[in-house]
Amino acid sequence: MSEAVSQPNSIKKILPLILATAIFMQMLDSTILNTSLPAIARDLKESPLNMQNAIISYVLTLAVFMPASGFLADRFGTKKVFITSIILFSLGSLFCALSQNLTHLVISRVLQGIGGSLMTPVGKLALIKTFDKNELLKAMNFAIIPALIGPVLGPLVGGYMVDYLSWHWIFLINIPIGILGIILGLKFMPNYKSAGVDFDLKGFLIFAAASLLLSVSLELFGDLQNTTPVLIVFILGFLFMYYYYRHAKRDESPIFPLNLFQVRTFRVGIVGNLATRLGISSVPLLLPLMIQIAYKQSAVTSGWIIAPMALTAIFGKSYVIKILDKFGYRQTLMTNTFIIGTLICLLAIPDINTSLYWFVPIIAILGFFNSIQFTSMNTISIADLRNFQTSSGNSLLSVNQQLAIGFGIAFGLIVLKIFENTDLIHGEPHNAFRYTFLTIGILTIISGFVFRRLHISDGKNMKSKEE
């Protein structure tokens, strides 16, 4: 990876906070809508089922525009693009709150998605270019915490706002956070550029089409009654991926160069992110669903049950550097993935008569190990990238993570629906959730073997100076 550009200490102190602000806005917004859809549907006089378009439009926009984030940052500078992205995201949030019908809301969510697709990747790119390898782990560790807290706080905050205020506030909450991000960005965000950057428009369109088709297929996979169109869209997505591969082999400067995958740590990080998030990403959605559907509890109660995950994620942040320095990336990621998979399996043990409090310690421990997992995967992925690879590699990592989260959520719901339609559950919806947790937990354990491809010495240059 490239050597860092020397920056004043004030910038190095504030830059992780700026990235954390962007990640928090994006992750909170991705989940806060889930518990609020029925209330928004009533107000806009729409069916709750149609309201899924408000979520899908945002996810699709992220998938389509994220590949361009690296080029735009290189061409116009990280500072300009980052501040513009926060402005777009904040304006989109304001327009969402002012929406009078579903069409207005979907258009506003697309504007939000354009801002969100640039905000986090460009902020992360500035972080990578500012910090030395031996400082990057600590900086990334701080910035990544909102990615763990956002999905947990989202349903809780959304539940309270809908019950005690109105659904409009789930969007208006972004405005003050966005203003803070703009102020900090204007003062402390460095403006890195790269000379002589060409934009691979053809490659961008091919990759965007592939991302779009795969994302659409993810959203449609829940419809198990009519699988043929879904499979056609899914296969088309992979065909476009292959088409991009052929294009990248011929083009002199593709948007995502194939030489990225010659970097072993990047290759393992990408595959590991995709594999392990299948289980990790589905838990924050499945557990609240189970508490509300099977246990007949409120959205606020389900939010409080998973809230400890956010607290222990913060606690885990202070230990991850020591753990990585002692055990290395290979052993840490393999062991950590095994622990996470086992904890997900434990969620399947309580029956319908067991107290809800049984889940709290499992979720609390899970938050701790999730913190270690995300920090470790993200830093090892970019550990060995060269200077000319950082922008495209960081953009591809962001796209991969977004698709991985989508795959995880879709996969969890598909497994749940399959078990709901079997005789195994004996008419008890709760049993379908138990079998689902067991399935995704076992698959998470198996996914840990991806990290066997790492060498024991990988990541040594990422060690913190503070030891």
- Which pLDDT tens digit goes with each residue over 192-237? 877 666 777 888 889 888 888 887 777 676 555 666 777 888 889 8
pLDDT of the residue at 339? 95
CA dist 253 and 200 (Å) reads 7
Residue 116 lies in a domain: yes
Residue 464: per-residue pLDDT? 42
Q: Which of 154, 178, 195 is the last residue of a domain?
A: 195
Summarize pLDDT for 273-291 with one digit per residue, the tens: 888 988 888 887 788 778 8
Tell me how many domains the chain contains.
3
- Nearest CA to 369 out of 323, 305, 330, 306 is that of 323
Between CA 10 and CA 80 the distance in angstroms is 19
Rounded Cα distance, 340 and 272, in Å: 14
Residue 443 has pLDDT above 60, yes or no: yes
Is 399 inside a domain boundary? yes
Average pLDDT, the chain: 80
Amino acid type, 239: L
Instruction: Return the higher-pLDDT residue of 65 and 94.
Output: 94
Give the number of other CB atoms < 10 A from CB of residue 196: 6
| Last-in-domain residue among 212, 232, 254 | 254
- State how far the Cα of 377 lies from the Cα of 451, in Å rounded to an integer: 10
- Tell how far CA 135 is from the center of its chain: 23
Report the range of poorest mean pLDDT among 1-5, 35-39, 383-387, 394-398. 1-5
- As a whole number of angstroms, the distance between CA 155 and CA 38 comes to 13
Residue 236 sits in the same domain as residue 211: yes
Same domain, 334 and 248: no
Q: pLDDT value at position 50?
A: 63
d(CA 141, CA 158): 26
pLDDT tens for residues 164-202? Answer: 777 788 888 889 988 988 988 888 888 887 766 677 788
Cβ contact 296:424 at 8 Å: no
Q: What is the pLDDT of residue 76?
A: 84
Q: Say if residue 352 is in the same domain as residue 398.
A: yes
Cβ pair 73, 81 in contact under 8 A? yes
Q: What percent of the chain has pLDDT over 90?
A: 14
Calpha distance 35→161 (Å, rounded): 10
Q: How far is CA 127 from CA 37, 122, 202, 211, 282, in A?
A: 35, 9, 29, 26, 29
Instruction: Show the DSSP H helices in 281-389 as ranges.
Output: 283-293, 299-306, 308-346, 359-381
- In this structure, the answer to whether residues 415 and 275 fall within a common structural domain is yes
Please give the C-alpha separations between residue 181 and each of 121, 185, 300, in angstroms, as whole numbers: 15, 6, 29
Q: What is the pLDDT of residue 95?
A: 93
State the number of CA atoms in the 13 A half-sphere of 421 facing the CB: 10
Rounded to an integer, what distance in angstroms lies between the CA atom of residue 398 and that of residue 408?
Answer: 15
| Cβ–Cβ under 8 Å, residues 454 and 329 | yes
Residue 405 exposure: Cα atoms within 13 Å on the Cβ side = 18
Q: How far apart are CA 260 and CA 144, in angstroms?
A: 23
On whether residue 451 sits in a domain, the answer given is yes
Is residue 173 within 8 A of residue 31, CB to CB? The reply is no
Boundary (domain end) residue, out of 195, 214, 237:
195
Q: Minimal CA–CA distance to 290: which of 342, 349, 341, 338? A: 349
**Residue 2: inside a domain:** no
Cβ count within 10 A of residue 418: 15
CATH number at residue 88: 1.20.1250.20
Whether residue 370 has pLDDT greater than 70: yes
CB-based contact 62:116 (threshold 8 Å): yes
- Do 188 and 332 belong to one domain? no
**pLDDT (tens digit, 9 = 90+) per residue, 445-455?**
999 999 998 88
Within a domain: 124: yes
Per-residue model confidence as pLDDT tens digits over 327-357: 888 999 999 999 999 999 999 888 787 778 8
Q: Are both 240 and 263 inside the same structural domain?
A: no
| Mean pLDDT for the stretch of residues 302-308 | 77
Structure-block tokens of residue 168: 């409009």
- Using the structure block, give the residue that is written with the tokens 């002199």: 252
Q: What range does the domain containing 111 cover? A: 7-195
| Chain segment 134-167, per-residue pLDDT in tens | 777 777 777 767 666 666 677 677 777 777 777 7
| Residues 235 and 353 reside in one and the same domain | no
Same-domain pairing of 394 and 295: yes
Residue 1: per-residue pLDDT: 46
Alpha helices in 173-307 (DSSP H): 174-188, 201-220, 227-250, 264-280, 283-293, 299-306
Residue range 236-259, pLDDT digits in tens: 988 998 999 899 888 877 888 888
Q: Is residue 90 part of a domain?
A: yes
What is the C-alpha separation between 122 and 205, in angstroms, rounded? 20
Spell out the alpha helix ranges (H) of 77-168: 78-98, 102-130, 133-164
- Do 188 and 333 belong together in one domain? no
Within-domain flag for 1: no
Per residue in 385-440, pLDDT (tens digit) is 777 777 778 778 877 887 787 778 778 878 888 887 777 666 677 788 889 999 99
Q: Are residues 118 and 238 in the same domain?
A: no
Residue 92 is predicted with a pLDDT of 93
Say if 367 falls within a structural domain. yes
- Token duo for residue 454: 């790492």
Q: How confident is the model at residue 6 (pLDDT cuts 50, 70, 90)?
A: low
29 and 124 together in one domain:
yes
The residue count of the chain comes to 467
**Are 272 and 402 within one domain?**
yes
Specify the range with the lowest mean pLDDT, choosing from 15-19, 76-80, 130-134, 200-204: 130-134
